[in-house]
Structure 1
Amino acid sequence: MDKKPVIILGAKGIGPSAAEIFKSNKVEIYCFLDDDKALHGSEIDFVSVLGETDDDGYLKYIGKKCDAFVAEDNMKARKKITKMLNDRRKTMPANAIHSQAIVSDSAHLGYGNFINARAVLGAFSKVPNHCLIHSGAIIEYNVELGDYVQLGAGSQLNSGVTVGEETFIGSGVTVVSGVTIGKKANIGAGSVVIKDVKDGETVFGNPAQTIEN
């Protein structure tokens, strides 16, 4: 992980957890930026919330003197802020990888990923961009995720699983080896997925069954 100071865009949701991740790697946090003006001037774990996420007074440092991390749980907001960084600063967000996560040397990582404590990324796994991998989640070898995938705490993706972009997988889910999960699918917490899931499909249960929207 890059040791440049970081500005965290988003002081709520996963923002404080992202701060803990950077601190676990002894990375200095320059400040939080958040669009909720009620937070401006406050501190979160001794880190100040200084302005809004599009404040050029702070954004001008990103890419030169410091990195940025987009700490937004909401996918639409995360996409909007990431696009703003791309357009205005010509940069991608840094990865936030907890010092207690285990990442194989052969794993592929893109940009802007949140990987919390005790998460495991196995050999030749692929985690591209802007994924949220919560505490204790296991991504076994040869697993491939799409962008903006969210994997809940304690979930397990077994070997050879493929997950399409923007899919949500709840806490404590088990996906058996070789299963393909489509784009924008939703897997309910605690489910056991033993067969492929279509694009946009919502499944739940043990074994997981389709839930009609």
Structure 2
Amino acid sequence: MEKPIIIFGAKGIAHPALEIFNSHEVVVYGFLDDDATLHQKEINNISILGKLEDDGFLKLIGQKCDAFVAVDDPKYRETLVKLLNTRRKVQPVNAIHRLSYISTDAGIGHGNFINAKVTIGAGAEIGNHCILHTNATIEHQAKLEDFVQVGAGAVINSNVTIEKGAFIGSGVTIVAGVTIGKNARVGAGSVVIADVASKQTVFGNPAQAIEK
């Protein structure tokens, strides 16, 4: 029997993560969130218990509960992961929707959110703490490093590399063999036909750099 889950964060992907755990008949103990106006409220009858770094709840992680980090912002997500790694010596669990397809030859790390109808092809590598929204396609041999977010309906073609912390908007197409650099951002609906540098923001068809 799997341990109950405490979900870190009560906004964004928190609600669909709850749905995923419920579908796997995994008990969600509650949510933690720093927004005090949410405390003692409920999401589908599951309470928002208190703050994210509340020692009373943190001490349950690893012994009696597992954790899932449901925070969209990659920097804050990374902060919470480090908190769990250092203070509780645990890695967050994956939330993987029953209606996703993951090749038996794909590799997947820890703490990932993989929503309905996501397809992950043979030989693809998904790092840790990535967020893959509904109907995203990760083709064979593609590689996503840690803390990558891929929007709904995006298509990441074969042999694409997406480096740590990059954001890929909804409906994006990235052609085969392209590299998206660390912390880069690709705007929704873009078609990316060339490499994108680290921290660069691109948009359009074909995608072009946006000057800051």
**TM-score, normalization by structure 2:** 0.96
Give a deviation string over 1:144-178, Cα, whole Å, max 9, x none.
01111110000000111111111110000001111
Shift of 1:100: 0.8
Matched residue of 1:13: which SS?
coil
Stretches of structure 1 lacking an aligned partner (at least 5 in a row):
none
Counterpart of 1:39, as a letter, is L
CA distance in 1, matches of 2:143, 2:109: 12
Question: Which residue does 2:167 correspond to in 1?
Answer: 168
Stretches of structure 2 lacking an aligned partner (at least 5 in a row):
none
How many residue pairs end up in the alignment?
212
Counterpart of 2:179, as a letter, is T
Shift of 1:45: 0.7
Question: Which residue does 1:150 correspond to in 2?
Answer: 149
Shift of 1:37: 1.5
Question: Which residue does 1:81 correspond to in 2?
Answer: 80
Runs (4+) of structure 1 exceeding 4 A deviation are: none
CA distance in 1, matches of 2:203, 2:148: 17
CA distance in 2, matches of 1:156, 1:3: 33
Question: Which residue does 1:179 correspond to in 2?
Answer: 178
Shift of 1:28: 1.0
Does residue 1:104 correspond to 2:106, yes or no?
A: no
Give a deviation string over 1:99-129, Cα, whole Å, max 9, x none.
1111111111111111111111111111111
Matched residue of 2:170: which SS?
coil
Shift of 1:77: 1.7
Deviates more, 1:98-107 or 1:135-144: 98-107
Matched residue of 1:35: which SS?
coil
Does residue 1:92 correspond to 2:77, yes or no?
A: no
Does residue 1:198 correspond to 2:167, yes or no?
A: no
Shift of 1:136: 0.4
Shift of 1:87: 1.3
CA distance in 1, matches of 2:34, 2:67: 16
Matched residue of 1:78: which SS?
helix
Matched residue of 1:38: which SS?
helix
Matches within 5 A, 1:17-32: 17-32=16-31
Shift of 1:4: 2.2
Does residue 1:48 correspond to 2:47, yes or no?
A: yes
CA distance in 1, matches of 2:58, 2:199: 36
Shift of 1:93: 0.6
Matched residue of 1:3: which SS?
coil
Shift of 1:181: 1.2
Shift of 1:185: 0.9
Shift of 1:64: 2.0
Q: CA RMSD in A?
A: 1.1
CA distance in 1, matches of 2:102, 2:2: 18
Deviates more, 1:167-176 or 1:72-81: 72-81
Does residue 1:37 correspond to 2:58, yes or no?
A: no
CA distance in 1, matches of 2:39, 2:155: 38
Counterpart of 1:27, as a letter, is V
Shift of 1:3: 2.9
**TM-score, normalization by structure 1:** 0.96
